[in-house]
Amino acid sequence: MALTFYWYPNCGTCKKAKKWLEDNNIDYTSIHIVDNPPSKEELEDLIEKSELPAKKFFNTSGKKYRELNIKEKIKDAGTEEMAGILASDGMLIKRPIVTNGEKVTVGFKEETFNETWL
């Protein structure tokens, strides 16, 4: 099954992940995370399947994250509320997100990709 690869083409980490997928001959469908961010429901599903805390889905080094003071907004927020905030702006989402519908990785670490997608 082909992977779904949510990415932002100007993101260096995304470029590394894309190169890794191509170097390992892994089929994927790419989705521009800013032009077509996942919906709140899709994000809730991705968060659940990733087994990561919802806070791990935020691009904490991003300008928008700091400008909108998201750190304070999500301090006591639940997963549903955080998914809504993430769905409102693709620039708030940590990238890339890769999924096969069952497993999910957030960000790019070669070791994690090797364990999850090979």
% of the chain with per-residue pLDDT over 70: 99
- Among 75, 45, 47, residue whose Cα is nearest residue 60: 75
Say which residues have a Cβ less than 8 Å from residue 112's Cβ, sequence separation at least 6: 105
The pLDDT of residue 26? 97
The pair of structure tokens assigned to 6 is 């949510």
Question: What predicted TM-score, i.e. pTM, was given to this entire model?
Answer: 0.95
- For 94-113, what is each residue's pLDDT tens digit? 999 999 999 999 999 999 99
Write down the residue that tokens 């991003």 correspond to: 62
Confidence of residue 83 (pLDDT cuts 50, 70, 90): very high
Residue 28's domain is classified under what CATH number? 3.40.30.10
3-state secondary structure of 31: strand
- For 9-55, what is each residue's pLDDT tens digit? 999 999 999 999 999 999 999 999 999 999 999 999 999 999 999 99
The pLDDT of residue 1? 67
